[in-house]
Amino acid sequence: MVKLISYPLTIIYAFAFLLTIVIFHPIQAFCYRVFGYQALKKSVDALQFFLMRCLNILGTRFTFDNSHDIPTDQPIIIVSNHQSMYDISPLMWYMRKHHPKFISKIELGKGIPSVSYNLRHGGSCLIDRKNPRQSLPAIMKFGEYIEETKRAAVIFPEGTRSVDGKPKPFQTKGLEILLKKIPSALVVPITINNSWKTLRYGKFPMGLGTHIKFTVHKPIKVSTFANRQDLINSVETTIVEHIKN
C-alpha cells in the first residue's frame, strides 16, 4: 500500500522539484551577474530551503544534530558518507553560514538548471574522475581557494553513493590533497543516515516517510595530526561507527 501511494506522490514531487530548479536558474544568474557572489549565495541558500520543502511532499523529514560551535573565520573541510543526492540540500542549508563548496563530477556542471550554474559559478570544484591530469590540479586549486576564502570544502571520500547505506572504503587521494592545501582547516566529520531510503525502490517511485539524520562530530584541527593518514583513519572511523543500517 505504501509503495502504491508513493507513485502519485513521486510524480507530484518530481514536478515540484523541476519547477523549483527551473524558477531559481534565472534568479541565480541575475543575482550573480548584477550583484555578485554574495547575492548568488543567498539565492542558492533559498533554493536549498525550497528543495527540502519539495521532499516534504514525500513525508521526508530532516534532523541535523550539531552541538559544536564551528567558527566561521577559518576554513573547514566537511567529510561525510554519501547515501543519495538528497544529502546535498540539507548539508548546504544547515551549514550555509560556512559557504559549503563541493567536489563534484564534471558531468554535473552542465545541463541541470540551477544546480549546474551554482557548481560553475559558486566556487565548487568540477573534476573528471577518469582524468587525473585534470582532477588533481583542480582539487589543488580548489584547496587553495578554500584556504584563502575561509569557506567550507565538502568531500565524500567514498567516491560514489551507497545504495543500501553500507559505507564504502574511503578513497583518500582527494582528501589528502585538501589536507595539504588547507593547513589551517578544521575537519568536520558528518554521518548521514537513512538518505538512501529515499531511493529504496529505485528512482521511481521514491520512498515515503524517510527521516534523514545528520550527525556532526567534533571538529578536528588539521595541525594536531603530524600524519595525515592517521587523521583520515580517525575521521573515517568516526563517521562509519555512527552509520545505522
Q: Closest Cα partner for 166 from 90, 239, 215, 60? A: 239
CB 114 within 8 A of CB 26: no
Cis preceding linkage at 71, omega within 30: no
Indicate the pTM of the whole model. 0.93
CA distances 245 to 9, 68, 196, 204, Å, are 25, 25, 10, 22
Note the pLDDT of residue 160. 67
Share of the chain above pLDDT 70, in %: 98
Which of 39-43, 98-102, 164-168, 232-236 bottoms out in mean pLDDT, i.e. has the lowest? 164-168
- Tens-digit pLDDT profile for residues 54-94: 999 999 999 999 999 999 999 999 999 999 999 999 999 99
What gap in Å lies between CA 113 and CA 110, rounded to an integer?
A: 8
Of the candidates 178, 197, 181, the residue with the CA atom closest to the CA atom of residue 235: 178
- Give strand pairing partners of 63: 213
What is the per-residue pLDDT across 167-181, written as a single tens digit (0 to 9) for each?
888 888 999 999 999
**pLDDT, position 100:** 97
CA–CA gap between residue 112 and residue 63 (Å, rounded): 27
pLDDT at 172: 86
Please tell me the distance from the alpha carbon of residue 176 to that of residue 231, in angstroms, as a whole number: 10
Contact 83, 190 (CB under 8 A): no
Looking at residues 36-54, what average pLDDT do you find?
98
Residue range 157-186: average pLDDT? 86
- Tell me if 145 sits within 8 A of 124, measured CB to CB: no
pLDDT at residue 114, as a whole number: 97
Of residues 165 and 95, the one with the higher pLDDT is: 95
pLDDT at 161: 66
Residue with the larger pLDDT of the pair 169 and 122:
122
Q: What mean pLDDT is predicted for residues 123-140?
A: 91
Q: Express each pLDDT in 215-232 by its tens digit.
A: 999 999 998 888 889 999
> How high is the pLDDT of residue 23?
98
Tell me: the pLDDT tens digits for 16-39? Answer: 999 999 999 999 999 999 999 999
Give the C-alpha separation, 159 to 237, whole Å: 17
